[in-house]
Structure 1
Amino acid sequence: MSASEEREALAARIRAAISATDVREMRMFGGVGFMVNDALAIAAEHGGSALVRTDPALREDRLRRGAIPAVMSTGRVMGDAWLRLPAALLADDAELADWVAVGIHAGDRLREQGE
């Protein structure tokens, strides 16, 4: 399976895992981003990896679960609210659904804080 096919397969699995009603898909950064209530929650990337928004206060816990810091193509870390999820971490549908919930919850917290 090509990297693009893996990205599209992951995007299909994310669609199935999102139960929120206000979801919009956007092509971005070479991937498929899922905006929930106008905040990017998660994005399917080439090769079946994902970019997910997280609550910065829970970042260390998420890193212990196998996420890695999200880095831009320039090598700069994106910030404490963004993590990359290797494809192997998303092989299980229940695990994927949990990471989707992480992204949605982080976006909800931003709105609550007025950011």
Structure 2
Amino acid sequence: MAYDELLADRVRDILSDQESLREQKMFGGLAFMVRDKMVVCVGTGNRALLVRVDGVREPEYLERDGTDHAVMGQGRSMGAGWITVDANALTGETALEFWIAAALEHNTTAAG
């Protein structure tokens, strides 16, 4: 199944002012990279967005509707700061902008 192209367009529009923006197929979806580090990855199905955020703030972020800690297969955690966001939690631009802003905030301080 292909990634959600409409969501990818929405993400692309929000990130369009990032000088080092590039796109790369990753995790079965389309990842948006800034400063050579993944910000978000548009996925497939209900798990529409994979977001990389500050791991210390992950518990706070997981209180938001439609979120889960990201796993790679059954029971294999991706580590602190990796969150999936359901498609139904991204219908409004404010919600998508929130997640991209959280990921960009982490991106400025994250190691590769």
TM-score, length basis structure 2:
0.89
Question: Which structure has more helix as a fraction of its residues?
Answer: 1
Q: Does 1:77 align with 2:77?
A: yes
In 1, the alpha carbon distance for the partners of 2:52 and 2:102 equals: 7
Partner in structure 2 of residue 9 of structure 1: 6
In 2, the alpha carbon distance for the partners of 1:57 and 1:30 equals: 26
Kindly provide the amino acid, as one letter, of the partner of residue 64 in structure 2.
R
Structure 1 runs of 4+ with >2 Å offset:
none
Equivalent pair of 2:57/2:81 in contact (CA under 8 Å): no
Aligned Cα root-mean-square deviation (Å) = 1.6
Q: 1:25 aligns with which of 23, 26, 35?
A: 23
Q: Does 1:47 align with 2:45?
A: yes
Give the superposition deviation at 1:20: 1.6
Per-residue CA deviations over 1:48-103 (Å, capped at 9, x if unaligned) read 61000010111011000122100112430111120001111111111101101111
Q: Which runs of 5+ in 2 are unaligned?
A: none
Residue aligned with 2:25, SS: strand
TM-score, length basis structure 1:
0.86
The percent of aligned pairs where both chains have the same amino acid is 32
Q: Which runs of 5+ in 1 are unaligned?
A: none
In 1, the alpha carbon distance for the partners of 2:94 and 2:4 equals: 18
